[in-house]
Amino acid sequence: MKFIIAEDYDAMSRAAANVIAGYVTSHPDCVLGLATGSTPIGLYGCLVKDYEAGVLSFKDVTSFNLDEYRGLDPQHDQSYRYFMEHNLFSHVDIEADRTHVPDGACPDAQAACAAYEQAIAEAGGLGLQLLGLGHNGHIGFNEPAPDFPKYTHCVTLTESTINANSRLFDSIDDVPREAYTMGIGTIMAAKEILVVASGADKADIVHRAFFGPVTPDVPASVLQFHPNVTVIVDKEAGALC
Ligand code: GLP
């Protein structure tokens, strides 16, 4: 594992964007696994700048997002599809039909998840997977559980996640209670993994995830077993490491 502590949020974002830009430049037809949340917004901004500067192209890239709320339409302003359109896809030259987000509007959880897992396999598997980190150590929406879930599945969100994400909805009652997410197995099969975390409120979980024991109680800790992981945090998130 490569563990990098950047000076601040902007430096973390630039360093993480460079890893992605480097991967896309050396593998122009790669499969990128993408993430949502507040943390990657800055790095997506850096990638858009690189595209606008003419030094980066996504024209042959395929993307798969980690997760989506169950029950939200792609047009809903808190859906992860909307987030990706707004923060990256509509600003760069990625082909719309090569971008994938689990279908939160599909009520048949088993069908939605199986189709997603199959689409990833048909694309040849994930190349570089970007991850943020939940306060309880979740990656994607893989919450602390008795074991590590293998494939894309439907999860019931924990109170901690619902509370954390309620800041983005009108009221806590509007936060969906379920989501579709890649499994830990899906994520671990990626060739490379890049994790970003920022802010003092992530310091404890960053330390537990990357320097504590590997346990499904802290889903991100499994990344210690991956052969090619880069973790980039800002000083505040890295304060206990
Ligand atoms: C959400 C997403 C995760 C994300 C996490 C942290 O629950 N499902 O993929 O990593 O929140 O988000 P933030 O970066 O806003 O702290």
Which long-range CB contacts under 8 A does 50-53 form with residues at least 24 apart? Answer: 50/17, 50/21, 51/91, 51/92, 51/93, 52/91
Cα–Cα distance, 66 to 178 (Å, whole number): 14
| Residue 55 DSSP label | S
73-121 pLDDT, tens digit each = 999 999 999 999 999 999 999 999 999 999 999 999 999 999 999 999 9
In this prediction the pTM is 0.97
Ligand 1 contacts CB of residue 67 (under 6 A): yes
Q: What per-residue confidence (pLDDT) applies to 233? A: 98
Degrees, nearest 5: CA angle 40-140-127: 75
33-64 pLDDT, tens digit each = 999 999 999 999 999 999 999 999 999 999 99
154-187 pLDDT, tens digit each = 999 989 889 988 998 999 999 999 999 999 999 9
| Cα(97) to centroid(ligand 1), Å | 25
Average pLDDT over every residue of 196-221: 98
| Cα(51) to centroid(ligand 1), Å | 25
What percentage of the chain reaches a pLDDT higher than 90? 97
**Where would I find the H helices in 70-166?**
80-87, 109-122, 159-165
Query: CA-based Rg of the chain, rounded to a whole angstrom?
Result: 16
Ligand 1 contacts CB of residue 117 (under 6 A): no
Q: What per-residue confidence (pLDDT) applies to 43? A: 98
Annotated catalytic residues are 67, 136, 138, 143
Ligand 1 contacts CB of residue 65 (under 6 A): no
| Cα(61) to centroid(ligand 1), Å | 23
Ligand 1 contacts CB of residue 165 (under 6 A): yes
| Mean pLDDT for all residues in the chain | 97
* Residue whose CB lies within 8 A of the most ligand 1 atoms, among 131, 133, 152, 177, for a mutation test: 133
Average pLDDT over every residue of 129-158: 95
Burial 76-115 (b: 16+ CB within 10 A, else e): bebbbbbbbbebbbebbebeeebbbbbbbbbeebeebbeb
- Split at pLDDT 50, 70, 90, the class of 221 is very high
C-alpha closest to that of 117 among 102, 95, 96: 102
C-alpha closest to that of 116 among 182, 23, 161, 57: 182
Q: What per-residue confidence (pLDDT) applies to 161? A: 87
Q: What per-residue confidence (pLDDT) applies to 160? A: 86
